[in-house]
Structure 1
């Protein structure tokens, strides 16, 4: 049988069991992966990971941007037809590599992913706690990346993981639905991967309510029936909303002197809260600490869940479904593209966005695309702008247009011989590297020929938005042009021209 061409990507925040995850892969021989990519997602790691020195292991960093971003950094850097994702707290057995190879061998081209069977051990001699039940549910979850392999070509086609999901929650479900929407199938393999029974403490259920904000994003990009598509039962949000409304009504009636109304509303709130608490208590060990925690958290969860859902609805109110052809990042020129060109501007008060700039950048963010700025600023080399003045002008741009994921500014002059000044590709390559993407996954939007020439030199897609200072020859030479910045962003989000 031909060797199965796969790599393994493991995002990590430095859990102590990381070497246990990698050991079966390193000892697998001919069935092992082509390479192992570990992505360190600690924000500011104080030391190297203990696996950094292992032969066959490549360690990358993703800057604490969450598991979706870490996995994107990993699969984009890895080679191989298949990318197998493992979490850093699973315990793959010694035969996992050979069983993965068997699961992947011979899969038809329309099958884009294979999920491993997650095995979570039941607690011995007692019922599981509320926190443990959350881990046990992983054994029935669909398409989770604790053990999930995807074709690399399909990951590239759909754009990988959506980094609008900041936690280890829903980002894998979102990816699976986009892969299915692209016309591919997903299957469950025969390999098994144990997952330890994780104890998140008595109050972990309160922290888990942050997932309601991610559910708001899921509803926005996949529609109201997304749970049905992944085999999930409806959540309790409507009942939580009723419970929270009764609690608010009780407080209002009491504060305004309506005692009978307060009593009636309070009884109704108490009944719903008691039902919720009783259901959770009955499923777990009946020890005093667990019962107390269930009573307290059952009163706190409904308003907290509603609050987090409201936060998500506001945060993602403009969210758009991620287009399969959308770029990983859009890099904008600054002067003449995002803001009106004021030569060698040193005054933040003179910064004025071009028409439609706010909406255009907002649409890119809403589509889950990273945004950045790549700008020549030779005024610093010429002594016409100080570095501090440049910093304040850029800060004003962000204040008016919102935060950008990356800034690259070349302060050199024409004769300095740097690699960053457009039309050279240095800034685009550096910005892409910081974002953890390939230059070819970026779109560069600018108003002069140097912008699109830099894009071409870096292997990125360039779109020219001509204005009064754009020369006719530059327009004629541009691979793509757009009449406005908004049109350019829309063209970028629709995917490559032609």
Structure 2
């Protein structure tokens, strides 16, 4: 059976629909994906952007296929996906599937159903979207400052295209049922206005046209909210006659907004009542979230994302430095090391160790003893994806001993990670120099033994390992 050059990544918050999706993939005839990764975001609630990043960073295939947990792939989805990937030329960075939203045939759709149906014509939505892994790595993946399933896909697409990648629409398809929603779902959706402000900050005022997004009603909502605020303030100040003007404007604007929405949907009394109630408060909610987004994202810069690979020095960084230690019982983790590594692993970042062990060359250690100490480090701190050990002495002229870049380059090659998506954390200048020489980013975590000139020469310095992780996860690297 043919294996596709892609891994399926599904972020989930525990919806029952996930089982239906996984069964559809399992029962589909034809080729199989290289793997399926389900990222559980039900407890952390970090958002779909962060969940997808956690998934694709663990992928080694050339392509990554994203599916939402509430879609149902067509029976021939895998066969069509194989055709879409085979047809992708070298310039194609992403392929979008076709989304069908079933609507009730016996009546007009409700406001929420119409909103969901908009997915059929939306560009680059990750309900069914496949990207080259190299494109995700080059852009840092999804911008985790988008906390909702809204705009994060358009933002990524614009960044991929800005780097010269082409996005195409494939032949495969999924069905996206309309999820049940409460009466106030349209009001809750106004939180997306804050994400629009981040889009504007990152992509300029013309971002809607570039992303194929509809114009929206933000100017009308702002005017209606301003009129309501003016009428309230004037009335409270005793200027009731003057307040009639802005009050009338607010009433007319709200009536027009409600009428436009009611005209498109079913005319039963419950839907009409829902449209009237929400139309009265949506403008204020939209304005509030717009202002909130403007303030929150006023200094937002380009998204870099977390590194794919973090390499760490062993002695003095991960564990207490015991000179020429060959005794596993003397291994003692540095404060916060286990919790920090667990945070990085939870973000989908691969980890490795790069360590000079010149005691082997000088006869003070054996490689077997180094291996037992390393095994104890893993026992205490958790697994690492790669270990790089240099057994040579300072005068041996090898290319692996830090500050030479050999171990950093070897670790990146072993895991298929570009050096510019790797960070190296260490406690002395040699760690930083090795990183920079390899094309990676060095982060210095000084100890009492670190020389002042080494601190002064490092571009990135963190006072301890947990705060070094904060910088890496926050894209400050």
Please report the TM-score for the alignment, with normalisation by the length of structure 2: 0.73
Distance in 1 of aligned mates of 2:461 and 2:131: 38
The equivalent position to 2:267 in structure 1, one of 286, 297, 300, is 286
Aligned twin of 2:451: 471
Identify unmatched segments of 5+ residues in structure 1. Answer: 44-62, 334-373, 379-408
Aligned twin of 1:418: 331
Distance in 2 of aligned mates of 1:254 and 1:410: 65
The equivalent position to 2:70 in structure 1, one of 73, 89, 95, is 89
Given that 1:132 and 1:200 are in contact with CA atoms closer than 8 Å, whether structure 2 keeps it comes out as no
Distance in 2 of aligned mates of 1:419 and 1:119: 56
Q: Shift in Å at residue 85 of structure 1?
A: 0.6
Shift in CA distance, 468/412, structure 1 to aligned 2, threshold 3 Å: closer
Shift in CA distance, 147/329, structure 1 to aligned 2, threshold 3 Å: closer
Shift in CA distance, 494/293, structure 1 to aligned 2, threshold 3 Å: closer
Shift in CA distance, 137/412, structure 1 to aligned 2, threshold 3 Å: same
Distance in 2 of aligned mates of 1:80 and 1:314: 40
1:107 aligned onto 2:88: yes
Aligned twin of 2:307: 328
The equivalent position to 1:181 in structure 2, one of 145, 149, 162, is 162
Distance in 2 of aligned mates of 1:11 and 1:301: 29
Aligned twin of 1:481: 458
Q: Shift in Å at residue 428 of structure 1?
A: 6.5
Aligned twin of 1:47: none
Q: Shift in Å at residue 410 of structure 1?
A: 6.8
Shift in CA distance, 270/472, structure 1 to aligned 2, threshold 3 Å: closer
Secondary structure of 1:78's counterpart equals coil
Higher-Rg member (1/2): 2
Shift in CA distance, 9/201, structure 1 to aligned 2, threshold 3 Å: same
Q: Shift in Å at residue 89 of structure 1?
A: 0.7
Shift in CA distance, 236/87, structure 1 to aligned 2, threshold 3 Å: same
Given that 2:29 and 2:75 are in contact with CA atoms closer than 8 Å, whether structure 1 keeps it comes out as no
Identify unmatched segments of 5+ residues in structure 2. Answer: 352-416, 463-467
Given that 2:96 and 2:168 are in contact with CA atoms closer than 8 Å, whether structure 1 keeps it comes out as yes
Given that 1:25 and 1:33 are in contact with CA atoms closer than 8 Å, whether structure 2 keeps it comes out as no
Aligned twin of 1:316: 297
Q: How does 1:14-413 map to 2 (within 5 A)?
A: 14-28=14-28, 30-43=30-43, 63-323=44-304, 327-328=306-307
Shift in CA distance, 469/3, structure 1 to aligned 2, threshold 3 Å: closer
Shift in CA distance, 293/111, structure 1 to aligned 2, threshold 3 Å: same
Shift in CA distance, 410/31, structure 1 to aligned 2, threshold 3 Å: closer
Q: Shift in Å at residue 436 of structure 1?
A: 2.2
Shift in CA distance, 215/421, structure 1 to aligned 2, threshold 3 Å: same
Distance in 2 of aligned mates of 1:437 and 1:273: 49
Count the aligned residue pairs.
Answer: 394
Aligned twin of 2:401: none
Distance in 2 of aligned mates of 1:465 and 1:412: 13
Residues 34-57 of structure 1: CA deviation (Å, up to 9, x unaligned) = 1111111111xxxxxxxxxxxxxx
Shift in CA distance, 314/288, structure 1 to aligned 2, threshold 3 Å: same
Given that 2:309 and 2:350 are in contact with CA atoms closer than 8 Å, whether structure 1 keeps it comes out as no
Shift in CA distance, 195/233, structure 1 to aligned 2, threshold 3 Å: same
Q: Shift in Å at residue 420 of structure 1?
A: 3.9
Secondary structure of 1:77's counterpart equals coil
Distance in 1 of aligned mates of 2:430 and 2:350: 20
Distance in 2 of aligned mates of 1:430 and 1:199: 36
Secondary structure of 1:105's counterpart equals helix
Secondary structure of 1:15's counterpart equals coil
Please report the TM-score for the alignment, with normalisation by the length of structure 1: 0.70
